[in-house]
Amino acid sequence: MLLHVGWHHIVFNSALTLLLGIPLELVHKAWRVAPIFLAGVLAGSLLSSVAEPAVTLLGASGGVYALIGAHYGLVIMNWEELQEGWQSWRKNPLKIFSSGLFRLLLLTLLVALDFGVALYRRYTLASLENSVSLTAHAAGLLCGILVGIPCLRNLDKKPWEMVLFWVAIGLLVVYMIFAVLWNIFYMGYPTDIPCNV
């Protein structure tokens, strides 16, 4: 998580961490956001070790994607509250920026662009040393949603959101147990491993 491949890698991860993390911390406080970031790094590392055991992993991309996932989780849990008032955007055009739909579009665009760059680097540069771990990114994103739903504040709790709360915790526990047990009992790890970011 603290090691990166080159200055562009650490600058990009740091910039995204600040852009995505500061708004979360302002509303939900650092003690709720830090576990999401750390869980994303852990989940990304674990899934990468299961799906791509022949490569090593560097960077905090799983944590950055966990912050993106946490934003997705917030939009899911607070959809109705985020929709209030944005239809009157003709009176105040800035209201559209606080809507859940705008946030979903912006987050999806960010994820699509980053995954597109990662796919390009992996399959056009054709070198494991320059490739990006898509599994670490995907696991961080999913973990951010699953940890963000129970950790971050919910503005108005509804019955279905409490069910989603427990489903998220259950899925996260099952995933972590599977990945940890896989790493304990899997015997096919190679000894010479290229670097993956």
Among the options 45, 48, 61, 131, which is catalytic? 61
The string of pLDDT tens digits covering residues 53-97 is 776 777 788 899 999 999 998 888 887 777 766 666 666 666 676
Active site residue 137: yes
Exposure string over 89-106, b if 16+ CB within 10 A, otherwise e: eeeeeebeeebbebbbee
Active site residue 4: no
User: Is 48 within 8 Å of 132 (Cβ atoms)?
Assistant: no
The string of pLDDT tens digits covering residues 104-145 is 898 999 899 988 887 887 777 655 555 677 888 899 999 999
* Cα 133–chain centre separation: 13
Q: Examine the pLDDT at 189 and tell me if it is beyond 80.
A: no
**Using alpha carbons only, what angle is made at residue 152 by residues 148 and 153, rounded to the nearest 5 degrees?**
145
- Who contacts 66 (Cβ-Cβ below 8 Å, separation ≥6)? 36, 37, 39, 40, 41, 43, 44, 140, 141, 143, 144, 147, 148
SS3 196: strand
For the ranges 130-134, 168-172, 179-183, the lowest mean pLDDT is seen at 130-134
Percent pLDDT > 90 in the chain is 18
Please report the domains of the chain, with CATH numbers, ordered by start residue: 7-185 (1.20.1540)
